[in-house]
Amino acid sequence: MKKKIVIIENNVISTNTMRKKFTACLIEEGYGVTILTTGTKEDLLTAKNNGFSVIDVKSSGLNPLHVLLYNLKLFQILSKIKPDVCLTFTVRPAIWGNLITRILRIHTITNITGIGPLFSSKNIAYKIARTLYKFVLKNTHTIFFQNNDDKELFIKNNFVHHQNIGLIPGSGIDYHYYTPIEVKKENDTLKFLFIGRLLKDKGIIEFIEAAKILIQEKINAKYLVVGTLWNQNLKHNTITQKDLDQWIDDGIIDYLGPTTDVRPIIASVDCVVLPSYREGTSNVLLEASSMEKPCITCNTTGCREIVEDQLTGLLCNVADSKDLAEKMKQMISFSEEKRAEMGKNARKKVVKEFDKQIVLDAYLKAIKDCLKNK
């Protein structure tokens, strides 16, 4: 009889992109996999067309009623499926998922995909998260961290206890899929690309402000943005449609919208820019690096592990649009050959250190360990 695995995801976009190969691998290994997540009808349909069994459990948000309904759905579905192992990704599934699996005594593997302002924010939501983390992970079988900084913070704050703790290179990179693509350059205009959810802590405001500085200085460059407006976050961190429309109308950016395949867009640009305040391990930087593109990112957790300053890209200060603008000007000043060399160095690094197979092997071992203890 097939062993059953339930994956609890924040949004099905992750299932269709960074964890597509991961989920397919579990199915190929003979596990019956069900994904509890949410998303648009189109994105949920895409997951089903990819051969995945998906149940829409909506989002918990901060509304107490929504949290209650979300947890009730998790409880009902997990009680019915009776999975042998449950996997959780991102903050909400990590907290509420572990709470429910603890009640139902389901072996759970949790991936701390990034902590954002968990320890620095005074917002009530993060205060609640800090309180809950102190006990929800007590019975979690295995906890994977994507960087050493997050691991040390969780240990220091007694969020993790006796369980197995592992360090994995983010979601890893399928470097056979994200491979360099030759694109004929139309002109000498350098293209910078921001990819990510349009959230303030992803650095979109700094990208816009840096672009404004370069435009004012009449520097020949274009600024592209790929990503979606995101309302599953705290209000002070979100970008509105009005903000986005203003940037487009002012001619600051070319907005390309969301996409499930960033490869043609990455291939068409000269440099990928991600001024994120903090990451678990940035998938955007892994994908761009694997496609031999130099990157500009912040000297911060989850980013500096991927981009080596002056070797595979450039590092700038966190939340500093002026410094970002200077680094973008520096990238423009490099010769095409220099940028190409940085891109080649970037691919070598991620192939060696961030191979997706490392992540798959770690999970398959952890799942087998869970099954042994049933």
Tell me the per-residue pLDDT of 344-358, one tens digit each, with 9 for 90 and over. Answer: 999 999 999 999 999
Asked if residue 184 is part of any domain, the answer here is no
Interval 24-50 mean pLDDT: 95
| Average pLDDT score over the chain | 93
Residue 321 is predicted with a pLDDT of 98
Interval 296-318 mean pLDDT: 97
Q: Which of 56-65, 150-159, 257-266 has the lowest mean pLDDT?
A: 56-65
Indicate whether 26 pLDDT > 90. Answer: yes
Residues 161 and 225 placed together within one structural domain of the fold: no
Task: Give 3-state DSSP helix, strand, coil % of the chain, rounded to 5.
Answer: 45, 20, 35
Asked if residue 183 is part of any domain, the answer here is no
Residues 96 and 42 placed together within one structural domain of the fold: yes
User: What three-state secondary structure class fits 281?
Assistant: coil
Residue 46 is predicted with a pLDDT of 94
Residues 205 and 230 placed together within one structural domain of the fold: yes
Confidence class of residue 195 from pLDDT cuts 50, 70 and 90?
A: very high
Residues 339 and 359 placed together within one structural domain of the fold: no
CA triple 173-93-105, angle to 5 deg: 110
Helix 336-353 and helix 283-290, axial crossing angle in degrees, nearest 10: 120
Residue 257 is predicted with a pLDDT of 94
Residues 22 and 165 placed together within one structural domain of the fold: yes
Beta bridge pairs of residue 274: 297
Indicate whether 234 pLDDT > 70. Answer: no
Residues 284 and 146 placed together within one structural domain of the fold: no
Q: 77: domain range? A: 4-172+355-372
Portion of the chain with pLDDT greater than 70, in percent: 97
Residue 187 is predicted with a pLDDT of 83
Asked if residue 328 is part of any domain, the answer here is yes
pTM of the predicted structure, to 2 decimals: 0.92
Asked if residue 185 is part of any domain, the answer here is no
Indicate whether 232 pLDDT > 70. Answer: no
Beta bridge pairs of residue 127: none
Q: Which of 60-74, 186-200, 343-357 has the highest mean pLDDT?
A: 343-357
Confidence class of residue 331 from pLDDT cuts 50, 70 and 90?
A: very high
Residue 356 is predicted with a pLDDT of 95
Indicate whether 266 pLDDT > 80. Answer: yes
Indicate whether 116 pLDDT > 80. Answer: no
